[in-house]
Amino acid sequence: MEFNSLSLFATLISLTILVYLFRRRRHLQSFPTTVNLPPGSFGWPVIGETFEFLFGKPEKFVGTRMKKFSPDIFKTKILGEKTVVICGPNGHKFLFSNEHKLFTAFRPHPIQRLFRSYRTKSNESVATVASTNTTDESKVIRTPGFLKPEALIRFIPKMDSIIQQLIQSNWSSEGKNVIQADSLSKTVTLTLACRFFLGIENPERIARLVGHFDDITLGMHSFISYIPGTIFYRASKAAEAIRKELRAVIGEKKKTIAAGAPAMDILSHMIMVTDPAGKFMPEMEIADKIMGLIVAGYSTVSTAITFFIKYVGLHPEVYQKVYSEQMEISSSKNEGDLLNWDDLSKMKYSWNVMCEVMRLVPPLQGTFREVLVDFTYAGYTILKGWKLYWTVSSTNMNPEYFPNPEKFDPSRYDGEKLQPYTYAQFGGGPRLCPGKEYARLVVLTFVHNVVKRYKWEVVYPDEKVMGNMIPTPEKGLPIRLISHQN
């Protein structure tokens, strides 16, 4: 009996090796011998270099391969895809200049699974769908100009009022001088996103969603697994819960629109938009697209705010300059006046501080594209169907562009010091983040209201940062508040 078990085990191992060698041979034969592919490695069978990509430092993953293979380009295999990383400021410029010509947007398979409307039909490529989908969420929000400055101007006073209320209710309890900064930053950004995108203000409804959105942001860059307890399983359950809540909101919104309410938010516009055939967008698709927008406006902005609090708390001289700038703006206003566009345009130093925070801790590490046609870059051929990974990690910690890159130095952004295409935290070209201005307004409005009321000390200066794709302080960034009224 024991012999039979060992024999069966040996047979299975042998078959596994033979299948791998056969696939490896077919894989190598699939490349034209005359094509000069980029240098690099596809890593392990099946998983490629996904572990290093997801669980290593992003700048280390990119930097070591730039040194080993080429400072301009290298190939790898991540999240199941043959991928090319084009590096440096020249790479940024090339990518931003050739969007929709040589490549188009691609969402990794975990994101396609979580956001079901992003899945493609069995006989269509992602590129085909991306190039023909007239209801792509970025087009939906760009067309009516919801995120343009002239539209956002009207939202600034409301944004100011909401943030004041949230700080008052979350940080102003008597005797509560040590709080978790990460918790408030998430509550603020999700509340504002729900108000701006959905037109809802119910705090209890929003509070129910915070944990779900955290699970989704983690699951977007993980291994697909429906085994209970895994990151992706929790993300898929969270997506179901959010989708259910959004369907309820959509139903309520349709009733208010039918009653004659004006379309003052992005959700209302999505409900009313039609395709060229005059058909309305299905509710499930609306739910998925609005969920994608909220995720984008939630995780990146809350991360930026959290690490602003950390770095400013660790650098009292920087805090003092931010405080002076914000108090000068505050002293120019009458009691009870809310912030306006002119006020935010004066917060130049505060924004420089935020830019430096985002360089050291990028809220968005990068995005993927799919190659539409074979093309050549830096002497190497990139094949149709491969994926491109754009990342800030090839420049943001490079001493050639940022001297003493580990140093926190907001003065880097004074004047015209930066070389073109070295700082690209918001992307560029046709895919320049449509929410850049919205994010700037949220961040600066938050900074103004917090700095006016408090200075603070970081309780754990060396607190570990978890999750390199979505950076999060391990303990939630506890800070000790010191009220200016004391």
- DSSP result, 398-438: -TTTSSSTTS--GGGGSTT-SPTTS--TT--GGGS-TTHHH
Residue 327 has pLDDT above 80, yes or no: yes
Strand ranges (DSSP E) for 281-439? 366-371, 375-377, 380-382, 387-391
Give the domain range for residue 81. Answer: 35-483
**Phi, psi (5° rounding) for residue 397?**
-120, 20
- Higher pLDDT: 324 or 25? It is 324
Please state the rounded mean pLDDT for residues 121-134: 31
What pLDDT, on a 0 to 100 scale, did the predictor assign at position 429? 64
pLDDT confidence tier of residue 131, bands split at 50, 70 and 90: very low
Does residue 2 fall inside a structural domain? no
Which of 198-202, 311-315, 430-434 has the lowest average pLDDT? 430-434
What pLDDT, on a 0 to 100 scale, did the predictor assign at position 135? 36
pLDDT confidence tier of residue 199, bands split at 50, 70 and 90: confident
Which of 286-290, 338-342, 423-427 has the lowest average pLDDT? 423-427
Does residue 23 fall inside a structural domain? no
pLDDT confidence tier of residue 302, bands split at 50, 70 and 90: very high
Does residue 17 fall inside a structural domain? no
Q: CATH number of the domain that 303 lies in?
A: 1.10.630.10
What pLDDT, on a 0 to 100 scale, did the predictor assign at position 380? 96
Please state the rounded mean pLDDT for residues 253-271: 86
Residue 72 has pLDDT above 90, yes or no: yes
pLDDT confidence tier of residue 177, bands split at 50, 70 and 90: confident
**448 touches 349 (CB < 8 A):** no
Which span out of 89-103, 209-223, 412-426 was modeled with the highest average pLDDT? 89-103
**392 touches 362 (CB < 8 A):** yes
Going from the C-alpha of 242 to that of each of 99, 190, 283, 284, the distances in angstroms are 32, 13, 13, 11
pTM value is 0.85
Which of 81-85, 121-125, 259-263, 296-300 has the lowest average pLDDT? 121-125
- Higher pLDDT: 270 or 458? It is 458
Q: CA nearest 188: which of 31, 306, 77, 33?
A: 306
Residues in CB range of 193: below 8 A, 6 or more apart: 293, 294, 297, 298
Instruction: Write the DSSP string, 70-135.
Output: -SSEEEEEETTEEEEEE-HHHHHHHHHHSBTTTEEEE--HHHHHHSGGGPPPTTS-HHHHHHH-TT
105 vs 209: CA distance, rounded Å: 28
Please state the rounded mean pLDDT for residues 286-302: 86
What pLDDT, on a 0 to 100 scale, did the predictor assign at position 26? 47
Structurally, the chain folds into a number of domains equal to 1
What pLDDT, on a 0 to 100 scale, did the predictor assign at position 144? 52
- Higher pLDDT: 146 or 179? It is 179
Does residue 200 fall inside a structural domain? yes
Six token digits for residue 154? 């009207």
pLDDT confidence tier of residue 294, bands split at 50, 70 and 90: confident
If phi over 0 gives left and psi between -120 and 50 gives alpha, with beta otherwise, what is residue 39? beta
Average pLDDT of the chain, as a whole number = 83
Does residue 16 fall inside a structural domain? no
Does residue 179 fall inside a structural domain? yes
What pLDDT, on a 0 to 100 scale, did the predictor assign at position 133? 34
pLDDT confidence tier of residue 40, bands split at 50, 70 and 90: very high
What pLDDT, on a 0 to 100 scale, did the predictor assign at position 176? 64
Which of 35-44, 297-306, 357-366, 425-434 has the lowest average pLDDT? 425-434
Say how far residue 412 (Cα) sits from the centre of its chain.
24
Residue 267 has pLDDT above 80, yes or no: yes
What pLDDT, on a 0 to 100 scale, did the predictor assign at position 173? 59
pLDDT confidence tier of residue 19, bands split at 50, 70 and 90: very low
